[in-house]
Structure 1
């Protein structure tokens, strides 16, 4: 961690020594000399940090030395950030000329003025502050010599990854017996009375596989079929009865009740499960206080006989207190099973000869994992990165295996994997200690937090998000994270968790630096005892606890997160306020998360957090944001998702030149964007772009052409209010086709207008060829644009409420299209060969011609070559569906990949083309509110039932 901090500081120093900044500081005596000395001191210390960080585990004095160095590194980072912010302020605001003076201030004087220096100290203060840091570093350097550290070169800071090489380790090794026993105890009641609640516990040390075994049982066929309802709740510490009860109700009902009193939520719980046979898993229980468990247990007894609670815990005393009827104690894996798990990961992608070469030393390494699945997965992830026998032998012979104070054998493999990371990735991993245990971490959000802390320093600022994703993939590959959820294509990590032992390890690495604490009345006192050493603070706020008014000494915090679970309620309590004093003390803060805290107002002192790079205010009933927010020139990420009451953004938002992500999803009350948004040419994320009529807009509101310079946009963009756009010229000026990193585009034409201008407008809104997802809503034209059939990368297309369209474009020509939804097109009457994209391929004689959609055979024509899902809903006047006309079936492949077909509210449609039903590999057919089709395809008695009877899943209602 110290290595990464030093790297960040050296990067800041490099910026400070930049010619432009040096010119600004040329009148400040001694600055350049002191900066050079600082640079030299840091590099000499950096050379031994790798050895020092390894030795801290066994030598407490080395750990103390590293803590001192981390404190200095943070202080230096704070000072350099203050310096660069002052310079940035000049660059954005310009030189402040005093009209009453005879001459304008020069840039240095302006810089010093905004730094807060008076005439007496302005020429010396910067140099003195750097000199003070140098003197502290001198002491650290002298102490360094006492330890005789070895110089170890750190790994390359940046790696280029060519693939994720993700390994599926879902197969469980050596637990078949325990799995069978547990499922039997949960699902078979032969020897148990049906009355009463049965509580079963799985007990074992951290990393032994308790949660994995519980998941196997929970998802087994026996559990799915044997219980009416199943619920899974991560408990961890602290045991909050209200939160646990709300989580159970949410599992049953799908939404969490907006109540906070214990008796109210328990009453809701009893009502939800009353008379129903359920399986409840309480994962990772720690509390030994029977008084916390008793009211929950009593409420659970209202379930039907045979209901079960499965508890996982490290502590057998917890199992006894919860009065379990059966306890399954997990032991270490047998050596052969441990080897199987280790080798599956370590040997992934290697040749047979290479595996044989490494097997002997590999089996010895697997023995060092002492039968712990987590250890085997972690060290297996490490060995995947090492290719030579000597590298493997070095790991086997490492002194770290001999550690005694290592949570029953788990820390050594974690430490070996941790020290094998480049220093920047080490810091990214250890930062995850800020999240509470069992928290589901959003990958995209974590990367933005890493950016805010300066942990991602790629070759250019444009690569920060890419580098963050690569770091995350590497950490996942090394088994630092678990329960990884990916996008449907498997390419992108969406969210994940940390195993509780890995979380313990991260907190061990960040002792006194990263704190996760409950909010209590004595919070300020507890924090003051830490003497201001904490740099990252997470406060877990229970539902009945008010927002903290004071949190003690927070001057040095870099991260501050008040974790709560409120969405924006209609009535906001008066206790949910942020005081101006709180913001005045958080001057070094880089990331601030106040989401879900029922805040409806923020003080103007928010503008004092000038180092802030990440600000999350989502799910709060905020009416507006203070204009002072526009002075946060370093801000990279602003999240105001689901702020249902937010009416406008600050008018000066265009001053946020470094803003990369503006997340305003689900802010329905936000009807306009300020003109300054057009100046945010670094934006990667802009959730939506909204417009109003020209009579309501004026010069201060964005219009469509203001999208022109936002060519860095990526991900998803929804454009609302296209019905207000008066002509195609404005649409052309938006230059959508230049937004080549956009993946998902939603064009919303409300208020829908039916005229030629609308068709000209959509024609001018040509999106980039790289687009993968497109939705067009409330389009009032009668024809779709010509550019649509050239979107060769489009995977998903959705037409919604395009009421005036009478024809569909030749979408069958789209080579990558997988999902097509047509919703509420009431004027659509016929779907024919034009829709399939084959009309031009077939001549009047029924022969085929050469075309772009041909396959390998010159005589075969393809329409919708990759379509998997087709939904047509609300086509009330649709009568005829023509697939093949005057052409032999052998010449045409129509929807050869179609698996799912849904037809709804198509009351005039007579039948589904036989060729489609027989030739497409349909697995699921759904027909509803289609009276003619329902009559024709009724099971057994329907006239056309035989045409669909071969489809595995049919639902006609």
Structure 2
């Protein structure tokens, strides 16, 4: 039996109902844009993981052919590179892909622009294993533009039954996470811009379009889209509901009645306040997401949902209590209360030993384990040895460190993600020494296992960090936030696997020290974010060879910092830097591999120099920047400033290499950039210039190649007068002015002369002539004149362009 037939069989149907306002298939210019051959070569080798020169030379002819088959379209090359990444780098394996019949797939329904992608996309899809096809098809069923979060979509796959436990990998979540990573590596899922760890993705609009057309008759023919609950009322066999429209409480009964196949119910952000008791009818429900709703309580009948695996209640601010019935959900794997903080925590969690994710666990007030509705005792965590992700809130409530030991975190051999958070109130203006020692003892007793990969410590009011923090061998992500009383950091540079580090909200930290140990510090760190450090002044002890893997560095709201770690000058990986509100920073320079630099609200910054690889520079609110040099490769420049009245002098020296210049400024500044303005010579040789007012509204655009200058809005007449009155020099400037004025002339002529003249003549004729046939002749005659007149002016405009 074919895969699609299996998918649409009544016994395994997984049709999705997405209740949305509207839906459509987006097309992007990327689907049709061709790249230069060398860029295509680089992209294919990177996507296929082909990094050895010997392999590149051995497979050169096949790679050239594949690039030609992809029509030099980057998206097609990325996708076929994902297919090749699953093959051995041998001629036989790659030639098999090159000679696949899917390249010549003849699809009449696919538009011309999409046909360039159809072969690679369908080949990537066909190359997926059976279970992975199920998971990807499920992603295609989600509403267009839906941001696919790894932890959400993997839960949906498990709830739908797509994930089957394997002999050597018994945890379904591990399998689902592996499937997600494989879809990202094949480039069928595209990481969202800014998602450094690829945990948020989308399905590219072109990929969605091609695959929906390829398999619409077998699979998507059963997909149902509805704009309201009422419209979905007759659909009884669907298994997933994702509701995005505002929803009244009364509509839920219509969803629950007769929906015995429903497995996934996502009502995120719908504004509902009440869940009816009829939810107990959904015997097969595996996932219930009520995040960002206004519900105040859950019905006791929720205990009937014995198959429920995932209960998500994030940011339900009105939720004041939880029903006792939750403790009877023995198949529950995920309970997520992050951001909800119910005032009455009624059910015991001690029986939920199978939980793998628990977020929003609030520590109670009691010194002993007596009943306390304000939170749970830490001993409830003792036997939850399946936990993979855990968030504990208000750890400062723990009176003695011996109580913290009752959580037995060190014994949880599957725990990979841990958040330890104190109270977030601003009442802790001063913490006595004895209180600081108690808090340190509590945190020291919450020692996690060595398998931990992600750790967040937030709102910790002690003065010292726990002894175990620098000794986590598998830690990859670390966030230290709002630890306002800590005056020093532990030796984080010796964490062998650390890739992402965020340090924010340290009010008393004066310096970030390297520490005393041999070897390079922060060996694998790729992303460093330092934020909201009022007193931070320096980096101490760092030397050449430290931060060897650093790719992105973000410094924000550190008013006293005067420089970066000196070792960054030797970095061969640092390509992106963002500096915001660095009130004492004067110079940025000597960063040989930096490609993107954003500087914002740093008034003391005067010099940017020796950035030989820089391609993108954004200067926002840095009016003191006067000296910019040594930027040989800069291609894109953006200047945003409310104070500037003239372009900075340093721009002239880089105009010849710029491809685009975008300026957000006052009308006075932008007026200097028009052809009659004083700063026009500085920008006239730039390929593309965009001028915008400070509120974001467009002022003008200029394209050098076309000799085209366009003004917008109220500035049109002002710019036209300046172009007409000013004696432009050179043929290109004259050509540009003629092009601009001809468009204005045509518009005004039609608006002020042609239309009123025709209307007046037509009214006079109709009042004088009574015969219908004659009137018809006159109407046709005037219509022909109008058409010829419009064509004449259109030809003038086209000729001038």
TM-score under structure 1 length normalisation:
0.50
Counterparts of residues 375-774 of structure 1 (less than 5 Å): 375=76, 377-386=78-87, 387=90, 389=92, 392-393=95-96, 396=99, 398=101, 401=104, 403-405=106-108, 407-408=110-111, 409=115, 411-459=118-166, 462-482=170-190, 484-485=192-193, 487-488=195-196, 490=197, 492-506=198-212, 508-509=214-215, 511=217, 514=220, 534=222, 537-539=224-226, 541=227, 547-549=228-230, 551-564=232-245, 575-667=248-340, 669-671=341-343, 673-694=345-366, 698=371, 702-715=376-389, 717-740=390-413, 741-749=415-423, 754=432, 755=435, 757-771=438-452, 774=455
Distance 1:760 1:411 in 2: 60
Distance, in Å, in 1 between the alignment partners of 2:75 and 2:567 is 48
Query: 3-state DSSP class of the match of 1:692?
Result: coil
Q: Are residues 512 and 678 of structure 1, via their aligned partners in 2, closer, same or farther at CA, if it must alter by over 3 Å?
A: farther
In structure 2, the partner of 1:349 is 50
2:533 pairs with 1:873: yes
d(CA) in 2 for partners of 1:393 and 1:918? 50
Quote the residue 2:11 is aligned against: 73
Alpha-carbon distance between aligned partners in 1 of 2:205 and 2:240, rounded to the nearest angstrom: 22
Find the aligned partners of 1:607 and 1:442 in 2 and give their Cα distance: 28
The answer to which structure, 1 or 2, has the higher relative contact order (CA under 8 A, 6+ apart) is: 1
Aligned mates of 1:418, 1:608 — CA distance in 2:
37
**What are the superposed Cα offsets for residues 419-452 of structure 1, whole Å, 9 maximum, x if unpaired?**
3322212222222232233433323322221111
Aligned CA distance change for structure 1 residues 871 and 583 (closer, same or farther; 3 Å)? closer
Cα distance in structure 2, aligned partners of 1:874 and 1:710 = 40
Q: Distance in 1 between matches of 2:74 and 2:610?
A: 43
Which residue number corresponds to residue 661 of structure 2?
none
Change beyond 3 A, Cα 1:903–1:71: closer
SS in 2 for 1:854: coil
Distance (whole Å) between structure 1 residues aligned to residue 183 and residue 605 of structure 2: 53
Q: Deviations over 1:103-134 (max 9, x none)?
A: xxxxxxxxxxxxxxxxxxxxxxxxxxxxxxxx
Residues 72-91 of structure 1 mapped to structure 2, 5 A cutoff = 72-74=10-12
Q: CA distance change for structure 1 residues 508 and 764 in 2, over 3 Å: closer, same or farther?
A: same
Superimposed CA distance per residue, residues 647-699 of structure 1 (whole angstroms, 9 cap, x where no aligned partner): 222222122222222222222x4245444333323323222211332399726
- Which residue in 2 is equivalent to 1:855? 519
| SS of residue matched to 2:295 | coil
Q: CA RMSD in A?
A: 5.1
Deviation, 1:950, is 8.6
- Contact 2:294-2:316 at 8 Å conserved across structures: yes
SS at match of 2:251: coil
Deviation at 1:236, TM superposition (A): 12
Which structure shows the bigger proportion of residues in helix conformation? 1
- Please tell me whether the aligned partners of residues 486 and 494 of structure 1 are also in contact (alpha carbons under 8 angstroms): no
Per the alignment, residue 725 of structure 2 pairs with none
Match of 2:710 in 1: none
What displacement does 1:606 show? Answer: 0.8
Count residues in correspondence: 568
Distance 1:401 1:606, change over 3 A: same
Q: Distance in 1 between matches of 2:127 and 2:447?
A: 48
Please state whether the residue corresponding to 2:288 is helix, strand or coil.
strand
Does the residue aligned with 1:746 lie in a helix, a strand or coil?
strand
* Whole-Å separation in 2 of the counterparts to 1:357 and 1:237: 50
Give 1:895 deviation, angstroms: 8.8
* Distance in 2 (alpha carbons) for counterparts of 1:796 and 1:385: 32
Shift of 1:776: 4.2
Deviation at 1:732, TM superposition (A): 0.6
Residues 537 and 739 of structure 1: CA distance in aligned 2, closer, same or farther (over 3 Å): farther
- 1: CA distance between counterparts of 2:608 and 2:102? 67
Structure 1 residues 788-824: Cα deviation after superposition (integer angstroms, max 9, x where no partner): 4434547535252544x6x546546754577463636
Partner SS, residue 821 of structure 1: strand
In structure 2, what is the equivalent of residue 518 of structure 1?
A: none
SS of aligned partner of 2:350: helix
Q: Structure 1's 949 and 483: CA in aligned 2 closer, same or farther, altered over 3 A?
A: closer
- 1:434·1:537 contact (CA, 8 Å) conserved in 2? no
1:784 and 1:474, CA in 2 relative to 1: closer, same or farther beyond 3 A? closer
Deviations 1:873-894 (A, max 9, x none): 356xx9x98968xxxx99x999
Deviations 1:169-205 (A, max 9, x none): xxxxxxxxxxxxxxxxxxxxxxxxxxxxxxxxxxxxx
Tell me the distance in 2 between the aligned counterparts of 1:366 and 1:781.
Answer: 58
Determine if contact 1:864/1:894 at 8 Å carries over to the other structure: yes
Shift of 1:600: 0.9
Give the secondary structure class of the aligned counterpart of 1:467.
helix
Residue deviations 1:36-85 (CA, integer Å, cap 9, x gap): xxxxxxxxxx5xx37xx6xxxxxxxxxxxx48x9434337x99xxxxxxx
SS of match in other structure, 2:262? coil
Contact 1:813/1:864 (<8 A) preserved: yes
Q: TM-score, normalised by structure 2?
A: 0.58
* Secondary structure of the structure 2 residue equivalent to 1:605: helix
Distance 1:598 1:765 in 2: 37
Q: Is the 8 A contact 1:558 1:590 kept in 2?
A: yes
Inter-CA distance 707–341: structure 2 relative to 1 (3 Å threshold) = same
CA distance in 2, matches of 1:594, 1:480: 27
Segments of 5+ residues of structure 1 without an aligned counterpart are 1-45, 54-65, 79-234, 240-282, 286-311, 315-329, 516-533, 542-546, 567-572, 839-852, 857-861, 936-944
